Chains A and B, each alone.
Chain A
Amino acid sequence: MTMKIMPLVLGAAVALAATAANAGTLDDVKAKGFVQCGVSQGLPGFSNPDDQGNWTGLDVDYCRALAAAIFNDPSKVKFSPLSAKERFTALQSGEIDVLPRNTTWTMSRDTALGLNFVGVNYYDGQGFMVRKSLGVASALELSGANVCTNTGTTTELNVADYFRSKDMPYQIVAFEKADEVVQAYDAGRCDVYTTDASGLYAQRLKLTNPDEHMVLPEIISKEPLGPVVRQGDDEWFNLAKWVHFAAINAEELGVTSANVDEMKNSETPSVKRLLGTEGEYGKAIGLSNDWAYNVIKHVGNYGEMFERNVGPSTQLGIARGLNALWSKGGLQYAPPVR
């Protein structure tokens, strides 16, 4: 029942929320002592609770980095698991402070929905998963397929665009929760399961026989995933952006959670500026000067987050690919701290 009621409650919250709650998110966060972070309801590698209710994942690490920057304590985060449908309303109504929930950056979301995208913490694209026994080698052979997906996502639109442009008939079966999509696909209701490629690898682990399924080579869309904040609070927007950039800059400069204390003595100007031993960059975003040091010390740089959550050594085993640094042939690039 919760899923039925949530949008209503949130809608009412939008209507009633005091006008003052709009600005000053940082002050609110400091006053209440934690960051309220909207995440998925369970997507391994991005935001997933374990048996004890501890959240892990790339998106979760971003929340922890924010908390580390503000409070010097990565545990000062509370998580709100949200369905794809609820997520934006929750952010708009002030229910949560930031939304890192493998959310695709699109124009309409960035504008008409009153949201701001902080950056891209994972470059993704939509893919298809099928049973190997179907004998399909390419998405172009999927004419007439039953396709399972999540409702209220860009994937639902991409798949419609793809099949329409290729003039292939298809039937969409769209569920509210990712778990139900997996169950229905596993039961054989659908021939194809479509979502972001990273999600396919993650959800495949939940299937009865993961080895009987394969991800097709085609990537049919651009899905830049990143954290989102509300429009109208530039201070909070800046802070959220620079916590993200700090993690990428740290990787580029070779600063890791292991060597950050040594690096504090570094003579390299860019490292000094990042770690706050030179300049007053923390003040400009309303934090102490060692904000980035705290992020790297407690959570690590972007590369470390990636390796820990989705990298080749994890169950997901995703290569860096597009998510490598720009200097290593990828797309991850952050403006300099100066």
Chain B
Amino acid sequence: MAVEDARPERATDRASWINDPKVRGAFYQILLVLALAWLIWEIIDNTRTNLEQRNMATGWGFLDETAGFGIILNLIQYSEISNYGRALFVGFLNTLLVAGIGVFLATVIGFIVGIARLSKNWVISRIAYVYIEVLRNIPLLLQIFFWYFAVLRAVPGKREMGTIVPGVHLNIAGLRAPAPVFEEGSTPTVIALILAIVISFVIKGWSAKRQAATGQRFPVLWTAIGLIVVLPLIVFLATGMPISISYPEFRDTGPMLMRGFQEGTGFVLIPEFLSLLLALSLYTATFIAEIVRAGILAVSHGQTEASYALGLRPGSTLRLVIIPQAMRVIIPPLTSQYLNLTKNSSLAVAIAYPDLVSVGGTVLNQTGQAIEIIAIWMLVYLSISLLTSAFMNWYNKRMALVER
């Protein structure tokens, strides 16, 4: 009590509560929240009234209705009698497919080009420079059109084989390659393969620990290759070779329409997918290359010299000393490139690749439920982006310098 009494009384008398910064702050914040709430309520109410007035159907019931249209690429069972919900899911998986493979390819190409850009070899660094400057300065949509329309006209027609190497063919209907066919009894072989990969990782961890403790090295790579090849092979032979290969079957007799590669034989990548994948990964790779270059340049030259002084070769220096330190600079901007690639994949609609936006557009047109479809689009892209971000942040934390 004594402490409170000691407070000079004029502090509260001096100014009215209107001038109290705390009260004012709270007042403005409440005002802002109210204004926001009013705005959101107004939008929702307005939308509902407008939809009712125009007799437009609303709600999510349409997801159960029969779609009635075909989709050229479906990773799960889908036919014209499936419902709209499934059609949208097929589109979602197609988006994930092209984005996932695109991110992988863009990373690989980007790292190679980024390192090549710093090469002491003049020709290699110039080639990398020209590639980066040309591709990153052409709008992506034009590149997609280029890969689809210009390149499509240059490849052999549908009724020609267009053999690249025996068994692999590229014509206007897509890229075809032999496909494995898993027959009955093939499960043990697949399990053996997975097991071999897991064991390889365990050996890698053990060998790293041992090297740190004793300095002795273990030939991890050769052991792993041996394991991954030999173990499944033994199981495969022991179970009576249950996996066969389906080659693309080509027919050049009979009615014109029936000629060409037969559906259901071999493995096929449709040209819409190939063009989109190439355009997306080559375009994003240029940005990744610059990020990688910046990351490597951010590691001080003294690190390289120190590493050479320890007797490490240039390859090992890059792999063991430079890249791990560069990664700390590289990962955050790399994340935004991954997000860009995923979002850019919605340009697929221009060349008939059935991604989420393309399929959603068809559903929107058949049902007229624009608000629901657009909500689904936004929610899906937002979720993919947030998940990618979360993963990359976790990875970044793992790679970040641990300060003690």
Contacts and interface: CB of A to CB of B under 8 A. Distances in A.
A18 B45 CA distance: 11
Contact of A152 (B43, B350, B351, B361): B361
Contacts of A153: 365
Contacts of B271: 189
B178 to A, nearest CB: 21
Given A189-B152, A191-B257, A169 B263 contact: yes
B352 A232 contact: no
Contact of A187 (B46, B56, B68, B152): B152
Contact of A112 (B56, B255, B350): B56
B267 interface: no
A192 B351 CA distance: 17
17 contacts: A4-B347, A10-B370, A17-B46, A85-B364, A88-B368, A113-B368, A114-B56, A114-B368, A134-B256, A146-B173, A151-B358, A156-B362, A160-B80, A171-B263, A173-B72, A176-B349, A180-B352
A14 interface: yes
Contacts of A136: 256-257
B371 A14 contact: yes
A187 B155 CA distance: 10
A112 B369 CA distance: 9
Interface string B328-345: 000000000000000000
Given A4-B349, A189-B152, A157 B69 contact: yes
Interface stretch (B7-15, B47-55, B105-113, B297-305): B47-55
Contacts of B256: 133-136
Given A112-B57, A135-B255, A84 B46 contact: no
A16 interface: yes
Nearest to A176: B349
Interface in B109-160: 141, 149, 152-153, 157-158
Interface string B29-65: 0000000000000010011011101111100000000
Contact of B257 (A14, A22, A141): A141
Interface in A76-123: 84-85, 88-89, 92, 108-109, 111-114
B80 A164 contact: yes
Minimum-distance CB pairs A-B, first 4: A152-B365, A113-B368, A114-B54, A114-B56
Given A88-B365, A160-B70, A1 B141 contact: yes
Q: Which of A85, A145, A176, A189 gathers most chain B CB within 10 Å?
A: A189
Interface of B: 43, 46-47, 49-51, 53-57, 68-72, 80, 141, 149, 152-153, 157-158, 172-173, 255-258, 263, 271-272, 346-347, 349-352, 354, 357-358, 361-362, 364-368, 370-371, 374
Contacts of A10: 370
A134 B257 contact: yes
Nearest to A15: B47
B370 A7 contact: yes
A19 interface: yes
Interface string A208-223: 0000000000000000
Given A3-B350, A151-B358, A187-B172, A161 B368 contact: no
Contact of A11 (B70, B349, B371): B371
Given A4-B346, A14-B370, A173 B257 contact: no
Contacts of B351: 175, 180
